[in-house]
Structure 1
Amino acid sequence: MALSAAISAWNEVNIADTESLRRESESTHDRRVQIEHEQARLENELGIDGALLGLQAEEEALAQAARDIKVRRRATQILATARHNIVAKVMPFTMQHMRRILPALTMDRYHDAQLQQDNTLLVWDERAGAMKSKNLFSGGAKDQFSLSLRLAFAMATLPTERGTQPGFLFLDEPLSSFDSERAEALLYLLTQGDIANAFDQIFVVSHTKTMAAEGFHYHIVMDQGRISEGTSPELILPSDDDAFQLDLLAAAQPTAEEPIEDAD
């Protein structure tokens, strides 16, 4: 009886059912191959090729990773809040200093400036009768505005406690795009203006001769890593005495084993 029922059921399977089962089998096989490839890729990416992972251990690792991400996000929020508070406290003083520095540095052409929330610097343009973005001015003017802002920020962040004020200011290549008129304005600011009054010593490094050395108490001219000129004879080192040789450029000089390669 059972055999007759099985034969009857077999006869009821038509060609369409057979084709459907074949397609399902092929689809399952393709899916398996796809999963195996994805598994191999993830194992290679995570460096666990062939390793057997315990579900409990991986769940614990996942929970720890989630906690680490949460801590980092919280730390990022704390830092962002701290930065905002610092900027909010310092920026008003920065703009006050900038409004004093800007006229001196721009030969009394520009007087007022504002810093937006998105850090866009606006400068009052007398000719236009409106505030204009720094990026709309000429290259030399933009450099003056940027330098004014940096100097103002440096002055605004100076500690006010007795005995804690820094003794010097170091400027590296502030004249890279300044003409003689702008350089003269900066020279006045550094030697007689607010900047000169805020720091005991001011160091300026420049590869141009635009800035007049007479405005400073001391000046040193370097040539091939040696002091070739100075404001007093004792600053000039003997050229034939290796004991006084300065090796400031030794690390930058190519050797026979390290030829100079042209940049692309």
Structure 2
Amino acid sequence: MIINKIRARNVLKYAELSIDLAERGLIAISGRNESGKSSIGETVCFALFGRTFSIPPDEIEKVVRWGENHCSVTLEFSVEDQRYELARFLDRDGMHSAKLALSGNIENPIARGVGAVADALFAILGFEYEEFVESFYLAQREITTPHPHSQAIKIMAGVAPLEQVAHSLQDEIAEREDLLGEIRAEWESVDQDVQALGIQDGRMPRLEDERHHTSVQIEQVNALVDEINVELDRYAANATQIERARSASGRVGFLRFLVLLLALASGGLWALLTYAGHLPQAELARELLARHVPQWNDQKVLWIGYLAAGLGVLFLLLWIRKAGIRRRIAELTAQGAQLAGVLAQARAIDIEDIPEEEGLATESDMDDETPGEHEDPSMHAPARPDDAEYQAVHGQLDGARSPVRVAQDYCEREAAWLTYVGDRLNAQIAELDIEIDDEESRLQEALNLSEVLNGLTDKREDIEERIACRQRGLELLHGAILHLSNTFNRDVKELVGRLLPLFTDGRYEHLQIDEGLNVRVFSSEKRDFMDLDEVSSGTQRQIMLALRLALSKKLLGRTVKGRQFAFLDEPFAFFDDERTRRALYALTDLGDDISQVWIVAQDFPQNCQVKFDTKIFCERGSNTLTVAG
């Protein structure tokens, strides 16, 4: 950046300030104390950055000249052969505005407004106020070593962007650690919720197995009740049929006996008459037959044989009939035994886990209760027949000898008890269903919470990985910053080593600069390094001036584009004429990168052997200054 023109109104000392400058060479500003020399440098600083070195930012309205209400400044400068025009305005009320445009095209500004202009200038110049006052602009003050941790030095060293990234990483680490703490707290809270559910391993399978077992028992009980009712109806029907069959069997047996007697009598009579007719018994039989049977004769003896044969056949038929009745009775008796088998199954059934009765009161409790209380019959278990009664009934049912009334009474009581058991098991099923539904809900809730825990764990691991990654990045950045800082110190030392002999006439050539930018100088006479407080104040300022110019060159190499100006306000204080001459001569040979050097001094020694390309003389009593190029 090279300054071409300055136009200012009511800025600091000057009501009017107009300076046209040479683009290269030395610019000498001289004059007595309080003649306005430093005001020129502060005007340049105000034009560029909206602030000055001597006036705090919160009192910037003091830039306005005493007695005036507002001020303005226009600065024309060039960067890499491109000219720009920067205008800035300020009043006593703190109203501040700025405008940046290409020279000759002020109506189409590049940026308008203080913030926008500052951003645009940084992109064009490559530095801001802090870097400017630590390098190219030496205000009227004691020349000291720059602060090693200032932003300007960090930018010159190239560590500023790395530190910015490091700060961003540290902020991200802190932010993620806070988030990690929140996630851990949330994880612990959710885990406590999971623990509060009290999920027991295997409880759900146990409940389902118990429900299945109970369902099987209910099916068995209901099936037995149905079988008892069916078999009881069959037993009652069979009992009637058995009674009828037994009566028929008695009648058939009597008739069969009678037919047998008749068959034997007729057969014996036929045999007597046919084969023993000469016997007296045969004669007696003929007489009886003749007397009682009309038209009897011996030819009819054969019919007696036929009668005997027919009666024999009838006897056989009655025998078969009786055998059939016996088989029927046996079948009906066997069917009656099926009821006994069903009752045996009912007696042998293993009914487990029947819930204990609720609401059952003792006899004394029943006496104490008022009528109508706890009268739910379903709450009382019906009496089940005891084993002795079962054995008696079972034995009678085996032979179908049990009266229907006795069997019916027993079966009704057994079925009532089984029905009660089924009801209790159904109640247990209902309770199990509630428990299963509740357990399913709790398991689903636990599953949902487990998914939340898994998600939180994944988040935590991801954040921990991100933190670890950023911590590794910080380690790498710190290593890079240390490397750049060491390189910066070495480069500055080399630059100062080239400039210092020019300022000290070769008496001091080498410097030691530590990480804190503390300086020690090598004395050729003493052949040793010396602290700054061991040399004269003039030599100290020569060394610091060389260090300042070295930092400027370092900044040029780091961020600044094109040639640059340097403004040195009273750099030769405590210099004798000879030192001033050497310093001026050294400033003419700074290189092409710092090609415009402003030097402020009360006066310059005679016979400097340097050419001032622009001379500016300030008078104490004048509030206007005009310098033509």
TM-score by length of 1: 0.50
1:203 aligns with 2:598: yes
Matched, 1:180 2:562: no
Contact 2:497-2:509 within 8 A present in 1 as well: yes
**Shift of residue 157, structure 1, vs aligned partner:** 2.3
The answer to whether 1:221 aligns with 2:598 is no
The 5 Å alignment of 1:1-264 reads 71=171, 86-159=484-557, 164-191=561-588, 193=589, 195-210=590-605, 212=608, 215-223=611-619, 224-227=622-625, 234=628
Higher helix residue share:
2
User: Aligned to 1:102, what secondary structure does the other structure show?
Assistant: helix
Specify whether residues 120 and 214 from structure 1 end up closer, same or farther in structure 2 by C-alpha distance, changes over 3 A only.
Answer: closer
- Distance, in Å, in 2 between the alignment partners of 1:219 and 1:83 is 43
Query: CA shift at 1:115, angstroms?
Result: 0.5
Cα distance in 1, alignment partners of residues 501 and 610 from structure 2: 23
TM-aligned CA distance change 1:225 to 1:189, over 3 Å: farther
Letter in 2 for 1:225: N
- Could you list the per-position Cα deviations for residues 150-169 of structure 1 after superposition, in whole angstroms to 9, with x for gaps in the alignment? 111111221368x9134212
Give the AA of the match of 2:538. G
Could you tell me how far apart the structure 1 residues matched to 2:537 and 2:493 are?
21
Q: Which residue identity is paired with 1:130?
A: D
| Amino acid in structure 1 at the alignment position of 2:572 | L
Residue pair 2:584, 2:610 contacting (<8 A) in 1 also: no
Gaps of 5+ in 1: 1-69, 236-264
Distance 1:83 1:184, change over 3 A: farther
Report if the CA contact (8 A) 2:510-2:521 is conserved. Answer: yes
Number of equivalent positions: 156
| 1:144 Cα offset (Å) | 0.7
Instruction: Please give the per-residue CA displacement for 1:94-152, whole angstroms capped at 9, x wherever unaligned.
Output: 11111110101101111111102343211111222211111211111111111111111
How far 1:196 sits from its partner (Å)? 4.2
Measure, in 2, the Cα distance between the counterparts of 1:129 and 1:196. 30
Partners of 1:100 and 1:112 in 2: how far apart?
9
Check whether the contact 1:175–1:210 (CA below 8 A) recurs between aligned residues: no
Which TM-score applies when normalising by structure 2? Answer: 0.23
Q: Is the CA contact 1:172–1:206 (under 8 Å) kept in the aligned structure 2?
A: yes
Q: 1:165 to 1:120 in 2, by over 3 A?
A: same
Q: Secondary structure at the match of 1:112?
A: strand
Whether contact under 8 Å (2:486, 2:515) holds in the other structure is no
- Relative distance call for 1:104 and 1:213 in structure 2 (3 A) is closer
Alpha-carbon contact 2:563-2:594 (below 8 Å) kept: yes
**Aligned-residue identity in percent:** 23
Structure 2 CA distance for aligned equivalents of residues 148 and 215 of structure 1:
21
Query: Is the CA contact (8 Å cut-off) linking 1:110 and 1:124 kept in structure 2?
Result: yes
Displacement of 1:176 = 1.4
2:172 and 2:568 map into 1 onto residues whose CA distance is 36
Change (3 A) 1:222 1:95: same
CA distance in 2, matches of 1:213, 1:221: 19
With over 3 angstroms needed to count, the CA separation of the structure-2 counterparts of 1:86 and 1:73, relative to structure 1, is farther
Q: Which amino acid aligns with 1:203?
A: W
CA contact (8 A) 1:196 1:202 kept: no
The structure with the largest alpha-carbon Rg is 2
SS at match of 2:539: helix
Q: Note closer, same or farther for the CA distance 1:160–1:180 as it changes in structure 2 (3 Å cut).
A: same
Distance 1:147 1:183 in 2: 12
